[in-house]
Amino acid sequence: MDWVQGYHDIADVGLVSQFAIWDQNSWLGSHGSTDPYTYVDLVENISKIDYKGYNAYLMYGGMVSRSDVEPYGEVVLRGFFITYYDARGIGRL
């Protein structure tokens, strides 16, 4: 889970992708990778949903990155993710 303070357009796939890239590269750096890289290669099936009372977007996507363990080889990550805006800033997972 990531939390980004302030209002951001949760339907902006480019912005959501950039946050995912920053998060993954930070994760890799914290696990010793000296040359982290990540790029989003898939975003599809974007659906507007209700998530615990929030207007949200459910997306399926993926990225190409490095492993977080030596020898830090290339990996392809796939999964579902949800973005939503909580004006109170406290979230209810």
* pLDDT at 89 (0 to 100): 67
The residue extents of the domains of the chain are 13-84
For residue range 29-50, list pLDDT tens digits in order: 999 999 999 999 999 999 999 9
CB 55 within 8 A of CB 48: yes
CA dihedral 47, 25, 29, 6 (to 10 degrees): -70
